[in-house]
């Protein structure tokens, strides 16, 4: 019988915890590593709907991209959302594992999946000096595209409800930098390596201004849309490596933002 640690080991072989950023919190966050697991639910975020669904389908473990617990907990109050989540998880013996920035950086992880979705080729890490995989990627389009045509591709490929454009006035796009989630810190590095455009989420006003000043287009497709594709990839990876494990993805997740 598989254990929580068996699933954790399989995911750590793909996305070692050493790849996580110092501020991050990854690995087994709730539960007993020795507990038996027959069924896993994979999701992007661990909210009450995902936990309730795990209970409904009889899952013994949830694997998420975003950690449910980021910082040390000073109290567990059942009148607050985190306390209610923890109570339901513990009451139903459901373990929680998170693979966050380690999976962003890992080969075949969030950023490589994003690059593939967007049709990029000759994909490389943005940090050329690192021996280990790191955050961010840069690649080429197979043919030159206008900003609006490429933005339409991004929206369609990621099934995003919307994208935000920042037109730097520098013409067509051939080379593209990317970072799933909130990756605006890498805009200027992508420009340094010749990117005509950068795709990420959560871009702030002054970060957009800096992009224009430095002559690189931006496409903000949102945090959710740039990372959600990894959920199915995690499930596929677990099914391939642990064929005896039942794996289900939580399909009722959606972006917390909407446009009116």
- As averages over each run of 10 residues, the pLDDT of the chain (260 residues) reads 96 97 97 98 97 98 96 92 96 98 98 98 93 95 98 98 96 97 97 98 98 98 98 98 98 93
Distance CA 156, CA 228 (A): 14
Contact 101, 20 (CB under 8 A): yes
Count the helix, strand and coil residues of the chain and give each as a percent rounded to the nearest 5.
35, 25, 40
Domains annotated on the chain, with CATH: 4-103+228-249 (3.40.1390.30), 107-220 (3.40.1390.30)
Beta strands 27-30; 95-98: pairing state: antiparallel
How much is the pTM?
A: 0.96
Residue 109 to residues 59, 102, 116: CA-CA distances in angstroms? 24, 8, 11
Between β-strands 246-249 and 121-125, what pairing exists: parallel, antiparallel or unpaired?
unpaired
pLDDT given at position 237: 97
Residue 96's DSSP bridge partners are 30, 62
């Amino acid at each position: 019988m598989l254990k929580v640690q068996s699933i954790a080991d399989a995911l750590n072989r793909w996305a070692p915890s050493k790849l996580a950023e110092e501020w991050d919190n990854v690995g087994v966050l709730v539960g007993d590593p020795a507990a038996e697991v027959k069924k896993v639910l994979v999701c992007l975020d661990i909210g009450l709907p995902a936990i309730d669904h795990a209970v409904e389908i009889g899952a013994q473990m949830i694997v998420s991209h975003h950690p449910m617990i980021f910082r040390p907990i000073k109290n567990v109050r059942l009148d607050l959302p985190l306390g209610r989540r923890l109570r339901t998880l513990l009451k139903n013996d459901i373990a929680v594992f998170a693979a966050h920035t380690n999976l962003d950086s890992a080969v075949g992880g969030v950023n490589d999946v994003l690059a593939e979705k967007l049709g990029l080729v000759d994909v490389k890490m943005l940090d050329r000096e690192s021996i280990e995989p790191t955050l961010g990627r840069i690649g080429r389009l197979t043919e030159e595209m206008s900003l609006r045509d490429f933005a339409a591709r991004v929206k369609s490929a990621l099934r995003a409800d919307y994208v935000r454009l920042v037109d730097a006035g520098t013409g067509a796009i051939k080379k593209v930098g990317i970072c799933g989630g909130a990756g605006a810190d890498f805009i200027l590095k992508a420009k340094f390596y010749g990117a005509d455009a950068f795709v990420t989420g959560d871009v702030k006003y002054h970060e957009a201004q800096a992009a224009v000043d430095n002559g690189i287009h931006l496409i903000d497709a949102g945090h959710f849309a740039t990372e959600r594709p990894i959920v199915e990839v995690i499930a596929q990876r677990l099914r391939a490596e642990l064929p005896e494990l039942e794996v289900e993805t939580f399909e009722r997740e959606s972006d917390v933002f909407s446009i009116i």
